[in-house]
Amino acid sequence: MKLFALEFTMNSANIIWVLTFLVSIIFVLRFVGKKYKKNCWINKLNRILRKKHISLGVGLTIVSLLHGICAYIGIPYVSSTLTIFNFTGGIVGLIIFIWLCGSYVLRKKIKPNWMVWHRVLAIIFFITFVWHVVEEVPVIQEEEHQNISILQE
């Protein structure tokens, strides 16, 4: 169980990177695509990603929750210095991501400004995502190499 939780945490981190990139790249493609014709590959890619945006967001939510649970289970066996307080970036990011999903679900109740709120929360989520990676990953990778033999028992 310890090894599974840790391996899932590390593997799901890669999935989260890809999903976060796909969900957030439409923000950039929207501005870049204005300079080109509608049939340009940038605009075609943007249309495809916009159609899949909700599905990618749901997938990102599920994988992120499982990632957090498995990290909470597996990290204590690898790292003696990490505590729940080191997970601040991930916890804050998850809360903001839930608000981000909520801004879509409640879009009819916050009609005039829901897209503005959604974009602001998306930018804040991306910042906390980077914070989480910068804050936790180097410590985990350093101690993972030192303690990997413990997990193989």
What's the pLDDT score for residue 119?
A: 87
Q: Which residues of 18-56 are buried (b: 16+ CB within 10 A; e: fewer)?
A: ebbebbbebeebeeebeeeeeeeebbeebeebeeeeeeb
What's the pLDDT score for residue 145?
A: 55
Find out whether 122 and 100 touch, Cβ atoms under 8 Å.
Answer: yes
Q: Which residues of the chain are modeled with pLDDT < 50?
A: 150-151
